[in-house]
Amino acid sequence: MLAPRVRAVPITLCSVPLVSMRQLLDEAASGGYGVGAFNVNNMEQIQAIMEAARDTRSPVIVQASRGARAYTNDRFLWHLMQAAVELYPEIPVALHLDHGNDPATCISAIELGFTSVMMDGSLEADGKTPASFEYNVAVTKEVVAYAHARGVTVEGELGTLGGIEDGHGSGEVHLTDPEQAVEFVEETGIDALAVAIGTSHGAYKFAQAPDGEVLKMDLIQEIHRRLPDTHLVMHGSSSVPQELVAKVNQYGGALKPAWGVPREEIQLGIRHGVRKINVDTDSRLAITGAIRQVFVETPEAFDPRDYLKPARAAMQALIAERMGDFGQAGHAGDYEPLSLEEMRERYATAAVRT
Ligand SMILES: [Zn+2]
């Protein structure tokens, strides 16, 4: 549940506002690369992403879940993002709602100033119960109408991912049906489609290094063949590097053996229409390993900066590496960001497919 919050009036503090996620993904499609969508909850994570984007000259998607919005009470998140666009004017950055559970949550994010929302109608509003196709189409369509009238991008999801994170998820995997995906995109008019191909949220995605039996990359190829103009999204796409897991455990952590999505598989996806790659777990592992190291090696330290600085640096290094892996590095200056008003006009005149 969202914490009670003041009704936010979006304010523009600088001349370079947040940009449309649709434009970021369209540009990525023409350039043949993917864009990482990195989850944030606090200032240090936003700083880590923006510094990595500057170093690698990358356009980027910053995303916040319902849990993150509650944690930051929305208002802090909004102002931190305003600081980000003010301090990094050369970086195109979209602010995206991850896993909106119902139209009201998506609408509140749009009112706050998010330039993109995910309506996850693959689950009912409780974020747990797998929903019917009809329910998914209805709620997604409703959000698309509201969002596109304001120039805001919409991501939908068909099929369910494994894993439960922040109380979200059914814990069951239902792979995306390619034929149904075509119907879903046609009915709803979404900009981007999250596909379930066997990935899960959280650190424990696979019981062993994944192969084609558990990670259905061929499904992505099939969906892309049928929907060549739809931007595909891979959720739960942290790679869970073994050295990060080992570092957490070396300094007193108790993570079980964990495997993520190998970089090569993500790059294969990018060659077949994947434009947005969601990464959260890897950032968490990098931060936790760095903090644990300080606690173990410098037990006398008690200034939060003593451990938050190395934590931020560790996440920044990880994000910069991902930006290189996904191919977004070097593309920040490729295009002039369109305003949401310009995007609204494009949707209204069907200059972008709706
Ligand atoms: Zn997700």
Buried b (16+ CB within 10 A) or exposed e, 271-294: ebbbbbbbbbbbbbbbbbbbbbbb
Distance 201 CA to ligand 1 centre (A): 6
- In degrees and rounded to multiples of 5, residue 19 shows phi and psi of -105, 165
> Could you give the CA distance from residue 112 to residue 239 in angstroms, rounded to a whole number?
32
> What's the gap between Cα 112 and its chain centre?
18
Q: Mean pLDDT in the chain?
A: 92
Report pLDDT for 352: 63
Establish whether 98 is a catalytic residue: yes
Report pLDDT for 87: 96
73-101 pLDDT, tens digit each: 999 999 999 999 999 999 999 999 999 99
Report pLDDT for 21: 98
- In degrees and rounded to multiples of 5, residue 215 shows phi and psi of -110, 105
Distance 68 CA to ligand 1 centre (A): 13
Distance 296 CA to ligand 1 centre (A): 33
Per-residue pLDDT at 284 exceeds 70: yes
**Residue 72 in contact with residue 2, Cβ under 8 Å?**
no
Distance 164 CA to ligand 1 centre (A): 10
> Could you give the CA distance from residue 197 to residue 81 in angstroms, rounded to a whole number?
32
The model's pTM: 0.93
Distance 196 CA to ligand 1 centre (A): 10
Catalytic, out of 98, 120, 191, 280: 98
298-327 pLDDT, tens digit each: 999 999 999 999 999 999 999 999 999 999
Distance 66 CA to ligand 1 centre (A): 12
Report pLDDT for 9: 47
